[in-house]
Amino acid sequence: MLAHHQAVPQLHHPLHRDLQSPHHPQHSDRDVSGGEDETPTSDDLEAFAKQFKQRRIKLGFTQADVGLALGTLYGNVFSQTTICRFEALQLSFKNMCKLKPLLQKWLEEADSTTGSPTSIDKIAAQGRKRKKRTSIEVSVKGALEQHFHKQPKPSAQEITSLADSLQLEKEVVRVWFCNRRQKEKRMTPPNTLGGESPHALAPGHGPPVDGPLAPGPLGLPSTQFR
């Protein structure tokens, strides 16, 4: 059966066809011989996993970068753990075969950008996507500030109405008010100084002294005058 295996890389096979529409569902994880698709041998997978890890590290990408980049490129997000297990040959043979053409395609694209910082940064960004911080326009922020001064803690219904009128997501408005209240707390110092303690600085009404007593008028300890 091994004589029918070919060592030609699987670059011409679409990724989504391997993942979503297996041509031979009747085969078990290890019964992958025969059929139209070329199946790599264990030696092929081991060699590729080693090569992939070396190239990935040299290009400066983490396993998480690769997993998220695959989701951006092909719509199939893989966790950092999956990429780690692939490199360590800890996935099933079937899953190794499915993941290999994806990683091979990504590696070719990353390799082709060598010497082009813009392209490298673009691929890195594909893997490092985070939830973007919403940028609110000045005019919209002014409307939010105006509403905040009227009602710093709007109800859920008010938030929904305000979000609709400003064409913002409800969650964005809710978070803005939450952050604004926190900012207000930081900007407003506690009223512990000033007129709250009228006797604090009055003569003869100082705070009790727990430490050594200060010298009296004649240079003697003040206890001499009690």
Q: What is the mean pLDDT of residues 216-221?
A: 53
What per-residue confidence (pLDDT) applies to 207? Answer: 52
Q: For residues 146 and 157, what is the distance between their CA atoms, to the nearest angstrom? A: 17
> Does residue 17 register a pLDDT over 50?
no
Write the class of the CATH domain 2-127: mainly alpha
Alpha carbons 77 and 64: distance in angstroms, whole number: 10
Domain boundaries, the chain: 2-127, 138-187
Residue 64 binned pLDDT confidence (cut-offs 50, 70, 90): confident
Q: What is the pLDDT of residue 198?
A: 46
Give start and end residues of each alpha helix (H) in 75-116: 80-87, 93-112
Q: What is the DSSP letter of 30?
A: S
- Determine the average pLDDT of the residues in 103-120: 68
Specify the CATH number for 138-187; select among 3.40.50.300, 1.10.10.60, 3.30.450.20, 3.40.50.2000. Answer: 1.10.10.60
pTM above 0.75, yes or no: no
